[in-house]
């Protein structure tokens, strides 16, 4: 297994499918227990990386189909319970074993309780209207940017990861500019006028 991060936990990042999705395996080095995050296309890539890790849960970040294209294969091969936010239950191919709500606590791969509050950016459709974009902006500033600068942010798509500190800097550049009230769609914090 190629590790993307090896510290308090081990993180394997597996790039999968035609939409450049990332699936993750987060592992407790003390117990060799882990969780899978998302089930994109090319499920065999993720399944092959599991090896002897004892997967305790499969977390789905949101119901967009590109994060679920390998759902049947991965959940069938792994057999661990599935967890998803309450707003996304209707988008799964089958009912999850665990339904998460804002403020819920789940057990992380380190087997210590950690807060997991899925922000709107994970649950809502893309910012296809100004109201949806505003909800995402509120979620980013109210939930994510309250975290310490050094917290790592692992992307659901692509090779580039970041930190909260870098995300905060980019967000401040974006919010320092004037924007059209009907701004929506694919937003780049640094490039969008």
- The secondary structure of 45-79 as a DSSP string is HHHHHHTT-EEEEEE-----GGGTTTHHHHHHHH-
Rounded Cα gap, residues 181 and 167, in angstroms: 23
Please give the pLDDT value at position 39: 98
Please give the pLDDT value at position 109: 46
CB atoms under 10 Å from CB of 45, counted, come to: 15
Residue 167, SS3 per DSSP? helix
Which sign does the torsion angle of CA 175, 176, 181, 187 carry? Answer: negative
Mean pLDDT of 4-10: 85
CB atoms under 10 Å from CB of 173, counted, come to: 13
Please give the pLDDT value at position 6: 87
Domains defined for the chain, CATH in brackets: 1-117 (3.60.15.10), 119-193 (no CATH)
Which sign does the torsion angle of CA 108, 110, 112, 115 carry? Answer: negative
The 3-class secondary structure across 116-149, one letter per residue, is CCCCHHHHCCCCCCHHHHHHHHHHHHHHHCCCCC
Q: For residues 80 and 96, is the Cβ–Cβ distance under 8 A?
A: no
Q: Of the given ranges (2-11, 83-92, 166-175), which has the lowest mean pLDDT?
A: 2-11
Mean predicted lDDT score pLDDT of the chain: 85
Please give the pLDDT value at position 106: 65
Please give the pLDDT value at position 126: 52
The yes-or-no verdict on residue 50 having pLDDT over 90 is yes
CB-count exposure of residue 30 (10 Å: 0-12, 13-18, 19+): exposed
The yes-or-no verdict on residue 188 having pLDDT over 50 is yes
**Which tens digit of pLDDT belongs to each residue from 82-107?**
999 888 899 999 999 999 887 776 65
Q: Of the given ranges (20-29, 101-110, 127-136, 169-178), which has the lowest mean pLDDT?
A: 101-110
Q: For residues 84 and 96, is the Cβ–Cβ distance under 8 A?
A: yes
The yes-or-no verdict on residue 132 having pLDDT over 80 is no
**Which tens digit of pLDDT belongs to each residue from 147-169?**
999 988 888 888 888 999 998 99
Q: For residues 154 and 162, is the Cβ–Cβ distance under 8 A?
A: no
């Amino acid at each position: 297994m190629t590790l993307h991060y090896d510290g308090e936990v081990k993180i394997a990042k597996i790039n999968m499918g035609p939409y450049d999705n990332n699936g993750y395996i987060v592992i407790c080095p003390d117990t060799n227990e882990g969780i899978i995050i998302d089930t994109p296309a090319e499920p065999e890539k993720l399944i092959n990386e599991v090896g002897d890790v004892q997967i305790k849960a499969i977390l789905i970040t949101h119901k967009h189909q590109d994060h679920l294209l390998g759902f049947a294969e991965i959940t069938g091969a792994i057999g661990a319970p599935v967890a998803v936010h309450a707003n996304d239950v209707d988008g799964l191919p089958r009912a999850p074993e665990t339904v998460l709500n804002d403020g819920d606590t789940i057990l992380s791969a380190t087997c210590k309780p950690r807060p997991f509050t899925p922000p709107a950016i994970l649950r809502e459709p893309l910012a296809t209207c100004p109201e949806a974009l505003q909800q995402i902006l509120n979620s980013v500033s109210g939930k994510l940017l309250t975290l310490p600068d050094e917290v790592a942010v692992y992307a659901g798509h692509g090779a580039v990861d970041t930190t909260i500190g870098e995300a905060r800097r980019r967000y401040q550049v974006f919010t320092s500019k004037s924007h059209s009230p009907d701004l929506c769609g694919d937003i780049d914090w640094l490039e969008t006028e």
